Structure 1
């Protein structure tokens, strides 16, 4: 009997040891990851498929440029040789433009080669600009998500402190009720406020978990990875005065939308140049080329207007958030003082618990507003620099 009991004990010890080992291994497997904003941006750049696709686009543009350059050199060399034109049935051989069918004219080939040369020359630069644009957009998305996660984390702290203050008020109400200083209603009011504060705190926890999950999704982490955000969520105004007009000019030079519109305009401009050399203004081909040119020109002008409006709007949002922060900082100080005074007034019997709780609730609300405005400022600041095509 004793041997059987010993065997059971040994088996239990082995099982518990194995369980402990597995638990330790699992703990190591899901170890918390400390993340700064720069860490998140780096992870997103490493893991985002859009960046990889944009990188491939650059290589494809380079390959297309080489292929077209070879083709264009052959075409350009043929133009310097004595021209031969041979008609065979439905086919025409032209030594300058190669084999043609009746559906393809000398003008079509000239248009294709000359506009193709412009597209080839600008293609690599446009693909590179596209890559940088994608990287900028990913960085902005990470910043926005990180700031949102920081705000959600700070809201948890705000609601935790609010819960602690309401619980303290409940204890004070219960103590005052025991000594007969207040009515039972004061205790009930405090209990209701504590229940409400607990519910709001739990909701803040859920919102933080959702914000963290969205951040992990953007940067390519497993959604169950525990993370700790180590960058501070503080108000950092621009130290240097912003030259808005200078930065608008930068945006009108660097934004991908401008590069694309300029690309379309130059191609249309070359098309019109070729049409003018081959046709009279009353010919449909000439008119089509002229329409394409005018559309591209108007598109370029509209793009410039839209970009300028985008930059100015982002700037105004940033300045609006900046002004709101200083106001809310003063409001938070005033609300904290109101809570302190309300507690003293309650102890002295001048106000009821519901009045003290109202001061507490006002403090919580203004702290939430301040956190939201700081988040809005940081987001608007990131959006502004994204609107001008990145920092200088």
Structure 2
């Protein structure tokens, strides 16, 4: 089990230093985020603690050996008066123990019966170790979802900048055409002014796009946990998916690490109730030992070996056991409710993600058609304007339509990828690889 968890933890150490990293793709960005995230580091410590507690629970089955040495100094000791049979002799006093003496004792105690406490305690710690492992995986999945969505937002923002640049380029070209025609007296001053307005509008559009890119980049760096990093931003694509919501929900109930975590916590709570009941049963232990002392007068050193079978029957502890039992039952019910709530949230998340994906796919198809139509419209409008059978307004409108259509396509593809990241988070699996 230790080796399996290392696949999650120690793999982060294989990542190149961020100081020398250049153009990191999404996969390596995810690794960097996992390596730097403090919550992952905390969960790693929790796992180590749970593993040590499990080993401690195993140790409680083993015998306990104790060595005890004491040196006693007493101000007074009990004495016995002894009358001697010889006439005329006064009674003699003899101490029962020495005033100053030492005692050495070695004992071995082996629990034989604990009412199931040791066994149930071991099962709880074992379940806790596995539960923390899935808690770590759940946190990893959550961070991956955040970084993926940040990356897709950054890619969307970068493409928006590219679209804005092409808008500026087209507006500048139209402005140059309008200026040339105006100088030749072919078009009125209104066409020139309209072209200038459109060009400055395109510059403003580019400025906003660049600002959006900077914000998206800063959010990604913040969530990764680094101040400087060069990112290899790929243009987003999409692959049509055939999604069965019911099967996805079933997959999530089987694979989502949060569900696995809560199921283990439920088993842990069941053993907790059994431990609470074990408090009412007797405890049996075997004891063997060796003792040596010089406390007896007239005997240089006295030693002995001994053995015992101890039975401890709890009778009354001030109702503590009763309240601990009720607490254990409430804890079990609390975990049951948490598991049900988690399943409901995951089901809702999957339904919402699938709905977003289908909506995005529909928008992508519509936007693709709009881009092609707007491209043809712009080409036709420019040709008509150059041939002096079209107006400057037609060209400006066509540029705006083309830019808007490309923006809609870019936004739809980004939304598709973000929804897919959410779906993979809820199901706990890679959706694209399963298609």
TM-score if structure 2 supplies the norm length?
0.67
2:191 corresponds to 1:152: no
Distance 1:301 1:221 in 2: 37
Aligned to 1:246: 247
- The one-character-per-residue Cα deviations of 1:77-123 (angstroms, maximum 9, x if unpaired) are xxxxxxxxxxxxxxxxxx999xxxxxxxxxxx979767643420211
Distance 1:117 1:228 in 2: 47
Distance 1:45 1:69 in 2: 32
- The alpha-carbon distance between structure 1 residues 351 and 112, as it changes in their structure 2 partners (threshold 3 A), is farther
SS at match of 2:23: strand
Gaps of 5+ in 2: 1-18, 65-108, 282-321
Is the 1:58–1:127 contact (alpha carbons within 8 Å) kept by the matching residues of 2? yes
Is the 1:162–1:360 contact (alpha carbons within 8 Å) kept by the matching residues of 2? yes
2:403 corresponds to 1:367: no
Aligned to 2:128: 123
- The alpha-carbon distance between structure 1 residues 335 and 291, as it changes in their structure 2 partners (threshold 3 A), is same
Which structure 2 residues correspond to residues 1-392 of structure 1 after superposition, within 5 A?
Answer: 33-71=22-60, 116-223=121-228, 225=229, 227-238=230-241, 241-272=242-273, 290-391=329-430
- The alpha-carbon distance between structure 1 residues 43 and 289, as it changes in their structure 2 partners (threshold 3 A), is closer
Is the 1:150–1:229 contact (alpha carbons within 8 Å) kept by the matching residues of 2? no
Is the 1:339–1:356 contact (alpha carbons within 8 Å) kept by the matching residues of 2? yes
SS at match of 1:229: coil
- The alpha-carbon distance between structure 1 residues 228 and 124, as it changes in their structure 2 partners (threshold 3 A), is closer
SS at match of 2:429: coil
Give the C-alpha shift of residue 385 in structure 1. 1.0
Aligned to 1:89: none
SS at match of 1:191: helix
Give the C-alpha shift of residue 370 in structure 1. 0.7
SS at match of 1:180: coil
Aligned positions, number: 328
Instruction: Please identify which structure carries the higher helix content.
Output: 1
Is the 2:121–2:271 contact (alpha carbons within 8 Å) kept by the matching residues of 1? no
TM-score if structure 1 supplies the norm length?
0.73
Give the C-alpha shift of residue 244 in structure 1. 3.7
Is the 1:186–1:353 contact (alpha carbons within 8 Å) kept by the matching residues of 2? yes
- The alpha-carbon distance between structure 1 residues 211 and 128, as it changes in their structure 2 partners (threshold 3 A), is same
Distance 2:327 2:218 in 1: 52
- The alpha-carbon distance between structure 1 residues 265 and 237, as it changes in their structure 2 partners (threshold 3 A), is same
Give the C-alpha shift of residue 373 in structure 1. 0.7
- The one-character-per-residue Cα deviations of 1:306-351 (angstroms, maximum 9, x if unpaired) are 2222222212211221221111101100111111111123234344
CA RMSD of aligned residues (A): 3.2
SS at match of 2:203: helix
- The one-character-per-residue Cα deviations of 1:34-77 (angstroms, maximum 9, x if unpaired) are 221122122223333322222222211110111122225569xx
Larger radius of gyration: 2
Is the 2:117–2:275 contact (alpha carbons within 8 Å) kept by the matching residues of 1? no
Distance 1:130 1:234 in 2: 32
